[in-house]
Amino acid sequence: MIIISDDKKENYNASKIQVLEGLEGVRKRPSMYIGSTSIRGLHHLVFEIVDNSIDEALAGFCKNIRVIIHKDNSVTVSDDGRGIPVDIIPKYNKSALEIVMTKLHAGGKFGKGAYKVSSGLHGVGVSVVNALSKRMEVKVKKNGKIYHQVYEFGKPVTDLKILGETSESGTEITFLPDDTIFEMTNFNFEFLAERMRELAFLNPGVKIELTDERSGKSLTFHFEGGISSFIEEVNANKKPFHEVIHFSGEKDNVGIDFAFQYTSGFTTNIFSFVNTVRTDEGGTHLTGFKMGLSKAINTYLRESKTKLKDLKITSEDIVEGLTAVISVKVMEPQFEGQTKAKLGNSEVKRIVDSFVYERVKTFLDENPNTAKLIIEKVANAAKAREAAQRAKQIARRKTAFDSASLPGKLTDCSETNPEQTELFIVEGDSAGGSAKQARNRNFQAILPLRGKILNVEKARLHRIMNNREISSIITALGTNIGDSFDISKLRYGKIIIMTDADVDGAHIRTLLLTFFFRYMKQLIEEGHVFIAQPPLYKVMYGKTRQYVYTDEELAQIVKDHPKADVQRFKGLGEMNPQQLWETTMNPETRRMVKVTIEDAILADRMFSLLMGQDVQPRKKFIEEHALEANIDI
């Protein structure tokens, strides 16, 4: 058991609050503090406040957290922790609450004793949320009383008042994001639910309730199994080789909690966290975990008496088909940026490496049956890697900008600046022919695919590299894939998937997205992948011609013009080049959807469900969601 804090309850008071600098510039440059003003930045506001409640849980003072999305898109976060200090700080002659809410770098995270470890390390969270909100209301239950204060645009508009008495303790914060700063202020319930579920996994025993008053949805997350339950859920649609292997403890003042499980799949899913904050870009703790796991398996293999003991195993082989979680608690973590995407503490790599190696090596020695399954999985990966390397070498020999090496079916554009170019990946030669005639040859390239590409969820890398259609995509883009991926060599700034609006088209689109997500994820993360939206209908009434993109739009037009002539486009090939240009390819008039990854865990689970080996969960999903789909039968 890791002891998070040995602080006494009464010691968390105004003396723990230290002020480093003011709030200037937050509203002017919000992206410096929350990453962006897009939907991701909007949800980051909620995470910042919830992280403060989690800090109270880490310190041993909070068991229940509630998050409520109100009908006006304001959000309330409440907990049963100690409550933000409300006593006066003499230097400022203001309450500690007001200082925390209005000063950047003010909070218990900078003092000694209030928190041993903290997810909100930088101490800017709640003050930045306040600065970026039209209105914020705070209630603190502390010292037998209920304290209350209101802020607008980061500034107090009421004094700190006492509303009444209570025997409870905790903090409740309600905020309404400023719609003049954010591109949108509509919170996504599913996106928030994923993070709340994640936090409940990482903090076993803490109950987190999420309620959406707009839809009536409500979920409660409470997992005593911790990250073992996390892995079981991530692998719910996969075939595991063994039970989840889980260890936790403390070494050199670093709390370490890790679990892993090998599956029959070929993709790697390692989720890393520092003080319960997900580090999407990894860091020293992730490096240490991989090193320790790799050393343990290699050492066990060398000491074994099997014919595989001389097999050369790489870290790439070790992680094939692996699902793992590494969560560390560090007293003074050094992050890159306020959004805490990557851990930089060099000492953590050594500590985690040693801890993981010792635990895994002992486990393999004591559990020979499970060890045998893992060794066989790794050995098969090594053999497949050697075949994949031969295929990769062929791909590397082709220079991205050498036109002689480009796929024969690719019709390239004359522009060579990737910021100006577009590649349309088109279903079939018929649609490809129309697209070639319709395009603007200066900046639009066309790559027609012959049928459906390989389902990469069910194939190893050497099969993927040898697949003709996928090989054409890799060569056309110029980036290579997987560990060899280099986005600086990307030949087209926009990669546009253009398929028919029917079941086959949707399947091809999903196959392509699965490939990009598994082997070229950075293309999606940096906003290079789009889905074209061709019209479903052409409607004529009187002298008017109108292209219609949804059944809802069509219903309204037919209602207004009962004698309208409606033509259903069964496929892109049915449109002549002029129609295809006007509706789907002209940047001035087309509709496109940018593919984004708002939550990697949710995306991974969905791709495993839709494209994985287990048929039953996929069948159940289709049965439950069939009526929501636009299906052309």
* 387 and 417 in a common domain: no
Q: Which of 338, 363, 392 is the last residue of a domain?
A: 392
* 546 and 505 in a common domain: no
d(CA 228, CA 204): 10
Contact indicator for 584, 538 with CB cutoff of 8 Å = no
Q: What parts of the chain have a pLDDT lower than 50?
A: 1-8, 20-21, 110, 112, 120-123, 397-404, 622-623, 625-633
CATH of the domain at 113: 3.30.565.10
Residue 611 included in any domain: yes
**DSSP character string of 260-318:** EEEBSSS--EEEEEETTEE-TT-BHHHHHHHHHHHHHHHHHHHHS-STTTT----HHHH
* 376 and 297 in a common domain: yes
Contact indicator for 465, 471 with CB cutoff of 8 Å = yes
> To the nearest whole number, what is the mean pLDDT of the chain?
84
- Output 437-444 pairs: Cβ under 8 A, ≥24 positions apart: 437/577, 438/577, 438/578, 438/580, 438/581, 438/585, 439/411, 439/413, 439/581, 439/585, 440/413, 440/585, 441/413, 441/414, 442/413, 442/414, 442/415, 443/413, 443/414, 443/415, 444/413, 444/585
Q: Which of 166, 188, 221 is the last residue of a domain?
A: 221
Which residues share a beta bridge with 529? 495
CATH of the domain at 244: 3.30.230.10
* 216 and 342 in a common domain: no
Contact indicator for 209, 66 with CB cutoff of 8 Å = yes
* 579 and 558 in a common domain: no
* 239 and 190 in a common domain: no
d(CA 550, CA 552): 5
* 62 and 16 in a common domain: yes
Q: Annotated catalytic residue: which of 500, 582, 599, 604?
A: 500
Query: Which domain range does residue 141 map to?
Result: 9-221
Residue with tokens 């499970």: 370
* 447 and 576 in a common domain: yes
Q: What SS3 state is found at 381?
A: helix
Of the candidates 400, 417, 585, the one whose C-alpha atom is nearest the C-alpha of residue 492 is 417
Residue 4 included in any domain: no
d(CA 515, CA 595): 13
Residue 514 included in any domain: yes
Residue 448 included in any domain: yes
Burial status of residue 242 (CB atoms within 10 A of its CB: 0-12, 13-18, 19 or more): middle
pLDDT of amino acid 143: 92
pLDDT of amino acid 604: 67
CATH of the domain at 597: 3.40.50.670
Tokens found for residue 609: 């469900």
Residue 1 included in any domain: no
pLDDT of amino acid 110: 41
pLDDT of amino acid 122: 38
Number of domains within the chain: 4
Residue 430 included in any domain: yes
pLDDT of amino acid 626: 41
* 306 and 388 in a common domain: yes
**DSSP character string of 567-610:** EE--SGGGS-HHHHIIIII-TTT--EEE---S-HHHHHHHHHHH
Would residue 500 show up in a list of annotated catalytic residues for this protein?
Answer: yes
Instruction: Give the containing element (helix H, strand E) for 431.
Output: helix 428-438
Contact indicator for 424, 439 with CB cutoff of 8 Å = yes
Q: Annotated catalytic residue: which of 51, 172, 415, 427?
A: 427
Residue 226 included in any domain: no
Q: Annotated catalytic residue: which of 152, 502, 525, 574?
A: 502
d(CA 331, CA 52): 16
* 235 and 129 in a common domain: no
Contact indicator for 323, 242 with CB cutoff of 8 Å = no
* Residue 604 CA: distances (Å) to CA of 164, 222, 283, 433, 598: 48, 22, 21, 35, 11
pLDDT of amino acid 508: 87
Would residue 55 show up in a list of annotated catalytic residues for this protein?
Answer: no
* Residue 293 CA: distances (Å) to CA of 81, 274, 609: 37, 19, 28
For 15-67, the pLDDT digits (tens) are: 665 554 456 678 888 887 887 888 888 999 999 999 899 989 888 899 999 99
Would residue 429 show up in a list of annotated catalytic residues for this protein?
Answer: no
Q: How far is CA 345 from the centre of its chain?
A: 23
pLDDT of amino acid 402: 44
* 519 and 379 in a common domain: no
pLDDT of amino acid 208: 97
d(CA 86, CA 183): 34
Q: Annotated catalytic residue: which of 358, 504, 574, 632?
A: 504
* 18 and 164 in a common domain: yes
Q: Which of 169, 196, 221 is the last residue of a domain?
A: 221
Residue 344 included in any domain: yes
For 18-30, the pLDDT digits (tens) are: 554 456 678 888 8
The angle at the Cα of 384, spanning 383 to 389, to the nearest 5 degrees, equals 100
pLDDT of amino acid 218: 96
Q: How far is CA 284 from the centre of its chain?
A: 20
- Helix runs in 337-403, H state only: 346-366, 368-396
pLDDT of amino acid 404: 45
Tokens found for residue 598: 């708002």
Would residue 183 show up in a list of annotated catalytic residues for this protein?
Answer: no
